[in-house]
Amino acid sequence: MPVHHQLLATTPRYAVALAAIENETFARRNARTAAREEVVTIPIVVHVVYATPEQNISQEQIDSQLKVLNEDFRRTNPDVGKVPEVWKNVVADARLEFKLADTDPHGKPTSGVVRKETSIEVFEPDHTVKFADRGGADAWPADRYLNVWVCELKSALGFATFPGGPAEIDGLVILHSAFGTTGTVKAPYDGGRTATHEIGHWFNLRHIWGDDGDGCSGSDFVEDTPNQAGHNSGIPDFPKLSCNNGPNGDMFMNYMDYVEDASMYMFTKGQTERMDAALAGPRASFLSPQVRESMRLGTSV
């Protein structure tokens, strides 16, 4: 959120774009359009920016992260059965899948992985890693690829851009030791859920507590997530109560909270509606023309 707030403060057109996107999102929700049935596949380019051999993560580690994403966004993750009974009926399949890009911006075959050696030992949680002339790697076209930068990151597991920002910084940055499930990963963030969380932001999901500190007045703009006071961490016990939300309490096992990887294992139907709104609007370039038109009309192909 500090990165988001900095962008709001320095880029007036970003604030305007966000407001327009939210207006479209609420209009779509109020219209109760039909749920998207088609599975949309998002091409990913992973920019591995490294100063040491350890930071130059293996292909196996990258593949392990893709596996987690495809399970989490399709509700096939092995731990989805841990969702408390009261919320099992709102657990959602986002119908989103991810693959490493097989064609680069020039139409040439690619592995979907860019490796860039750098002299920068640790990147600040800002946009430096996204520019080659600052020691990072330049983004691929943001309307065709989800850019993911993996590096040594200071004081953060990762961060992402919401829709509506400048194309040259669009995407997510992940600490290499919180990316995937093998290689350099370190417990308790060794389940690949940092990327799941950050891609949620990329699809315009907010933190489940509404980013109002520990108050009860914030909102994630989703109807089926309970109001909660602040973020959760560690491995909470169910129920975890706050904001007079008993008897069931916080939905801390949601991917958009801050708990450890082993404690998060669900998106809700309301959250997938917001993701669909992002796909119908600012992320529509990732849809085929047929699916784009069906989502615009609120029908299915």
Domains, the chain, with CATH or none: 2-214+268-297 (3.40.390.10)
Give residue 299's pLDDT band: very low, low, confident or very high (50, 70, 90).
Answer: low
pTM: 0.94
User: Per the structure block, which two tokens stand in for 76?
Assistant: 């096939």
Catalytic residue list = 198
Q: Sorting pLDDT into bands at 50, 70 and 90, what band is 293?
A: confident
The CA-atom distances, in angstroms, between 5 and each of 12, 42, 135 are 11, 27, 24
Residue 31: per-residue pLDDT:
75
Residues 228, 233, 239, 244, Cα dihedral to 10°: -20
Mean pLDDT across the stretch 141-157?
A: 97
22-40 per-position pLDDT tens digit: 888 888 877 767 778 899 9
Q: Is the dihedral of CA 152, 156, 160, 165 positive or negative?
A: negative
pLDDT-derived band at 288, boundaries 50, 70, 90? confident
Going by C-alpha positions, the residue among 166, 221, 184 that lies closest to residue 52 is: 184
- Cβ count within 10 A of residue 60: 11
